[in-house]
Structure formats: structure tokens, C-alpha cells
Amino acid sequence: MGDEYISKEPFSEQLMMLCAEYEELEGRVSKLKGLKGWRARRKLRKIDRELEKAEAILNARGGRKIHIINATFLEIHLIRARYMIEELRRFIAGGSP
């Protein structure tokens, strides 16, 4: 059974989109004060770690393709980052923590 590889392109596009959302949230979080600001910054750091992990997997090897197993782990980190971004948006808007 041969190794399966898939294109990195869709993952890199997702990562770029999430990084842009992260930067937008970073600006909004920097304006928050007090306990809410502190909690938002903690949530932002967690998102940053997920995005860094995803980027590390994506850039682990050169080329245009990624092994299917690594792609699975990459997708997990991207999904977690996406969920955390939505959670932080709700938190900033005044929703549940």
C-alpha cells in the first residue's frame, strides 16, 4: 500500500483566512480592559498556539503535497482554531464565556 499525499493548497488558504480573522480579533481585543480584556487575551493566545501548530505541520516539508495523516492533524488544528475564533467573537460581543 503506497503513501497517499494531497495538495497543501486548500489548507494554506484556510490558514491564511484564519490568520486574517485572528489579526482582526487581535485589534479588537487590544481595546478591551479589565477582566474581560484579560480573558480575551488568554483566548487569543490559545488561538495563536493552534494556528502555529497548523502552520508548523503545513511547513514541515517542502513541496506542494502533504501526507494524508499529517493533513488530518492539520485539519484538526484548523477546526479548533476556527471554533475558538467564533467563541472569542461571541465573548467580545457579550455572549457566554
What was the pLDDT predicted at 97? 57
Question: β-strands 65-67, 5-7: how paired?
Answer: antiparallel
Q: List, for residues 19-73, the tens digit of each pLDDT value.
A: 999 999 999 999 999 999 999 999 999 999 999 999 999 998 888 999 999 999 9
pLDDT in tens, 7-26: 999 999 999 999 999 999 99
Q: Which three cell numbers stand for residue 57?
A: 505541520
Q: What was the pLDDT predicted at 62?
A: 80
pLDDT given at position 77 = 97
Angle at which helices 34-58 and 9-30 pack, to 10 degrees?
160
- pTM, two decimal places: 0.89
- Domain that residue 33 falls in: 5-93
Report the number of distinct structural domains present in the chain. 1
